[in-house]
């Protein structure tokens, strides 16, 4: 997650892959066995997460168009984050709203500011 910040000082935020752990065997915080649920809705959720992260966000990297950093797995440039006053609590799209404010602040300061997706690191969460 840190690699983009080291190689490019214009990076404002980076996010990694989020995977669903609903049908995964976990013991003492370690993933033992990964598998997809045999139920329809949970298996569609897994497909949607993989599509969104590995295809959607990776594709937007190429065009510099990533607008969403999942709060569950994001890293921000501290000075820019503090300048934009952190997350807004009066919105349902706080991650996108923050990225838009970060980018606006960067442009006002005279640099483009990049928001990138890093596919290698992954974190696990459960979906409803």
Two tokens, residue 41: 């809705």
Taking the C-alpha atoms of residue 64 and residue 24, their distance in angstroms, rounded to an integer, is 33
pLDDT digits (tens, 9 = 90+) for 4-13: 999 998 999 9
Taking the C-alpha atoms of residue 43 and residue 57, their distance in angstroms, rounded to an integer, is 20
Q: How many domains does the chain have?
A: 1
Residue 107 has pLDDT above 80, yes or no: yes
Q: Which residues pair with 18 in a beta bridge?
A: 123
Q: Which domain holds residue 73?
A: 3-125
Q: Domain of 18: which CATH number?
A: 3.90.550.10
Taking the C-alpha atoms of residue 15 and residue 28, their distance in angstroms, rounded to an integer, is 25
Residue at token pair 């669903």: 20
Indicate the pTM of the whole model.
Answer: 0.80
pLDDT digits (tens, 9 = 90+) for 74-105: 899 988 888 887 677 787 777 788 888 899 99
> 9 — phi, psi (to 5°)?
-75, -5
- What is residue 63's predicted lDDT score, i.e. its pLDDT? 80
Residue 69 has pLDDT above 90, yes or no: no
């Amino acid at each position: 997650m840190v690699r983009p910040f080291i190689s490019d000082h214009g990076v404002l935020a980076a996010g990694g892959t989020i995977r669903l752990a609903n049908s995964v065997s976990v013991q003492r915080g370690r993933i033992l066995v990964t598998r997809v649920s045999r139920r329809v809705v949970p298996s569609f959720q897994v497909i949607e997460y993989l599509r969104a992260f590995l295809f959607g966000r990776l594709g937007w990297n190429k065009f510099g168009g990533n607008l969403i950093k999942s709060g569950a797995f994001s890293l921000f440039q501290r000075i820019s984050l503090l300048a934009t006053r952190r997350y807004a609590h009066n919105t349902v799209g706080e991650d996108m709203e923050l990225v838009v404010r970060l980018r606006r602040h960067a442009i006002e300061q005279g640099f483009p500011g990049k928001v990138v997706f890093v596919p290698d690191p992954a974190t696990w969460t459960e979906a409803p």
